[in-house]
Amino acid sequence: MVAALKKARVGYAVTLSSLGADHPAKTGPIAGQHYLELQFNQIAGLNVLHLRAGYFMENLLAQVGIIKTTGFAASTLLADLPLPMIATRDIGSAAAEAMMRLPLKGRQIREVLGPRDVSMAEAAAIMAPRSANRT
């Protein structure tokens, strides 16, 4: 990707990164986002905006069945741990707005988050309110 951007002499780019990408290691797959940001930042003449997103709300779609059946999201996360969540549509809107408001200058970072943090328990209750009230 970096070679293609250099060859095409692209002047502006928006990347999808992640919260935690400021850390070079011990973040699991997010370490790859750190590396991506570094690589893009080294492209001469490229003005880049790194959108650091929270947890994708759409990740919960695969759990609709279990949430409706049990009232709980299946997760390794603590059920009551509030997470910064965002819909991918909102990330796309942020990227489009940034490109429409050119010119971007230099290397920038912007966190893209939903209106508030949401726990898995709260997300499950929203998705299946009657099921989530089971005891």
CB 127 within 8 A of CB 68: yes
DSSP 18-86: ETTTTSSSSSTTHHHHHHHHHHHHTSTT-EEEEEEE-EEGGGGGGGHHHHHHHSS---SS-TT--EEEE
Residue 103 above 90 pLDDT? no
Query: CATH number, domain at 65?
Result: 3.40.50.720
Range of the domain at 18: 2-132
Domains in the chain, number: 1
With a cut of 80, say whether residue 134 has pLDDT above it.
no
**Residue 75's pLDDT is what?**
86
Mean pLDDT in residue range 69-73: 90
Q: Of 22, 20, 15, 18, which is closest to residue 43 (Cα–Cα)?
A: 15
Q: Coil, helix or strand for 5?
A: helix
One-letter amino acid at 59 equals: N
Q: Quick one: DSSP state of residue 104? A: P
Q: What is the pLDDT of residue 128?
A: 86
